[in-house]
Amino acid sequence: MKKEMKPVHGVWASRWVFILAATGSAVGLGNIWKFPYITGDYGGGAFVLVYLACILIIGIPVMTAEIMLGRRGGMSPIHSMQALAKQAEAKKSWSLIGYMGALAGFFILSFYSVVAGWALYYVFKMPTAFAGATAESVGATFDGLLAAPYTLTAMHFVFMVMTMGVVAFGVNKGLERMVRIVMPLLFLLLAILLGYAATTGHFSDGLAFLFTFDFSKLTSEAVIVAMGHSFFTLSLGLGAIMAYGAYMPREMIVGGVKKPVSIGSTVLIIALLDTLVALVAGMAIFPIVFANGLEPSAGPGLMFVTLPLAFSAMPMGVLFGTLFFVLVVCAAWSSSISLGEPLVAWLVERSWNRVKASVLIGVLAFVLGMGSVWSFNIFAGAEYKLFDRTFFDLLEYLTTNIMLPLGGLLIAIYAGWVMKETHVRKELGMKNFKLYMVWRAVVRIFAPLAIAVVFLNALGVI
Ligand code: TRP
């Protein structure tokens, strides 16, 4: 480890700030936009059950492992993994986890910004466009947006500047203050929306769709998507949470006494909040779908056609609707920052200036994002598709369903098999020995096996 590779990026002010920042990273488009639409695509209940199971038995243990590696490494994922491998006298090639993660983060950032741009557009559209809206008119508005590459590009550009702007300033400063305000407000607005959905008369249809487990609908494709999404929604598998973990203090002064900051309970809170937001978003969106005769499988536009409908029918809907999309943008913002941070932190540790590094990553991700912008218009035709998927679809599939679980698999194996157990125990500081043994068994055997089985199954091998 070179001398200058100290944690130059700062430390979170408290454990709660870490929880807010990590929850800010986890709660994003994945919860509010993607979870409802893929649940619709894959038929509802059984998919939700597999997703919940993946969160519980793979996601939570892997997140614990990822934060632990980050806190021990104390640097960007690439350098942390290099330093850790050295410490454990393991092969240098374990830093592959960091490199692959950085690439996946870069890919995700490129299309995440495009979708966040849609929400940004709706912030401006909400006050004027949806008075007296019908299912057809909101659908036409969304289709119109997708058909307008310049508008999409402009929104994508603004969102990318917002994201890399915060990263350029350092995560502590802007982000800490932002998430303190935004996250509670987001919860409040979701509750209001849920309240409205409950009055549509179709609330129970929505619940039935989400929670009736019809396993005949469950394909191997659905299982791999559910698992991929459990990684995506918890921000796992690419080092984002590892980078955040690097800024997590080992000890905190609580009431004048120094206390160790435990990772396990922190992870539980983050996972719980994240899951809650996804389920509430689903419970808010599906009743509106059924009340308006829409299709649950409407695809990526689901949120953008259901919510304007709901808001246009609600008293003060313009206000709430606008506010809601502002918050979706903020939720996406606090997530996208964690996609850019690992890469920028890595460059900064290689003596780059933080601002320059942020601009470089931002420009590159913006350019790659144009492929996703055009996937909905210029390159939407069948002649531009590969395996019946657009560029956007391919990038999303590759990152979420392959790179993230693969990253998670390697992280679990590293934490379970390669890292010295004394180091693991010290870093985790778990007091409950039985619980520790359960976690260890999961990261050593169960999680890698489960991920491998899902992969092989999707490939048609088993
Ligand atoms: N978790 C975020 C969401 O649900 C997206 C995200 C942010 C992410 N950082 C990540 C996904 C790192 C995977 C890895 O919208």
Residue of minimum CA distance from atom 14 in ligand 1: 235
The pick from 33, 163, 171, 339 for probing ligand 1's pocket by mutation, whose C-beta has the most ligand atoms within 8 angstroms, reads 339
Query: Percentage of the chain surpassing pLDDT 90?
Result: 59
Q: What integer pLDDT is reported at residue 3 of this predicted model?
A: 41
Q: What integer pLDDT is reported at residue 155 of this predicted model?
A: 98
Q: Are strands 257-260 and 251-254 parallel, antiparallel or unpaired?
A: antiparallel
Q: How far away, in angstroms, is 20 Cα from ligand 1 center?
A: 14
Q: How far away, in angstroms, is 25 Cα from ligand 1 center?
A: 6
**Ligand 1 pocket member 62 (CB < 6 A):** no
Residue 295 forms part of a structural domain = yes
Residue 1 forms part of a structural domain = no
Burial 125-162 (b: 16+ CB within 10 A, else e): bbeebbeebeeebbbebbeebbebbebbbebbbbbbeb
Q: What is the pLDDT averaged over residues 124-139?
A: 84
Judged against a pLDDT cut of 60, whether residue 4 lies above it is answered with: no
**Ligand 1 pocket member 408 (CB < 6 A):** no
**Ligand 1 pocket member 122 (CB < 6 A):** no
The ligand 1 atom at the shortest distance from the C-alpha of residue 31 is 4
Average confidence score pLDDT of the chain: 89
Residue of minimum CA distance from atom 6 in ligand 1: 235
Q: How many domains does the chain have?
A: 1
Backbone angles phi, psi at 257, to 5 degrees: -115, 140
Q: How far away, in angstroms, is 233 Cα from ligand 1 center?
A: 5
Q: How far away, in angstroms, is 89 Cα from ligand 1 center?
A: 31
Q: What integer pLDDT is reported at residue 5 of this predicted model?
A: 39
Smallest CA-to-CA distance from 364 within 390, 341, 340 is with: 340
Q: What is the pLDDT averaged over residues 312-336?
A: 87
For residues 335 and 163, what is the distance between their CA atoms, to the nearest angstrom? 9
Q: What integer pLDDT is reported at residue 7 of this predicted model?
A: 54
Q: How far away, in angstroms, is 235 Cα from ligand 1 center?
A: 4
Residue 176 forms part of a structural domain = yes
Q: How far away, in angstroms, is 435 Cα from ligand 1 center?
A: 27
Residue 331 forms part of a structural domain = yes
Residue 234 forms part of a structural domain = yes
Q: What integer pLDDT is reported at residue 127 of this predicted model?
A: 82
Judged against a pLDDT cut of 60, whether residue 20 lies above it is answered with: yes
310 Cβ contact partners less than 8 Å away, ≥ 6 residues apart = 193, 196, 197, 200, 284, 288, 317
Judged against a pLDDT cut of 90, whether residue 170 lies above it is answered with: no
Of 1 and 149, the one with more pLDDT: 149
**Ligand 1 pocket member 335 (CB < 6 A):** yes
Q: How far away, in angstroms, is 373 Cα from ligand 1 center?
A: 19
Q: How far away, in angstroms, is 342 Cα from ligand 1 center?
A: 13
206-210, 231-235, 368-372: the lowest-pLDDT one: 206-210
Query: Percentage of the chain surpassing pLDDT 70?
Result: 97
Residue 3 forms part of a structural domain = no
Residue 238 forms part of a structural domain = yes
The ligand 1 atom at the shortest distance from the C-alpha of residue 231 is 13
Cα–Cα distances in Å, from 202 out to 134, 194, 197, 289, 293? 17, 12, 8, 9, 11
The CATH number linked to 334 is 1.10.4160
Judged against a pLDDT cut of 80, whether residue 230 lies above it is answered with: yes
Smallest CA-to-CA distance from 21 within 12, 10, 30 is with: 12
Residue 368 forms part of a structural domain = yes
**Ligand 1 pocket member 102 (CB < 6 A):** no
Give the residue numbers spanning the domain of 423: 15-458
pLDDT, tens digit, for every residue of 357-367? Answer: 999 999 999 99
Q: What is the pLDDT averaged over residues 440-445?
A: 96
Residue located via tokens 């983050």: 270
Judged against a pLDDT cut of 90, whether residue 255 lies above it is answered with: no
Judged against a pLDDT cut of 50, whether residue 6 lies above it is answered with: no
The ligand 1 atom at the shortest distance from the C-alpha of residue 332 is 15
**Ligand 1 pocket member 370 (CB < 6 A):** no
pTM: 0.93
Judged against a pLDDT cut of 80, whether residue 52 lies above it is answered with: yes
**Ligand 1 pocket member 240 (CB < 6 A):** yes
Residue of minimum CA distance from atom 10 in ligand 1: 235
**Ligand 1 pocket member 235 (CB < 6 A):** yes
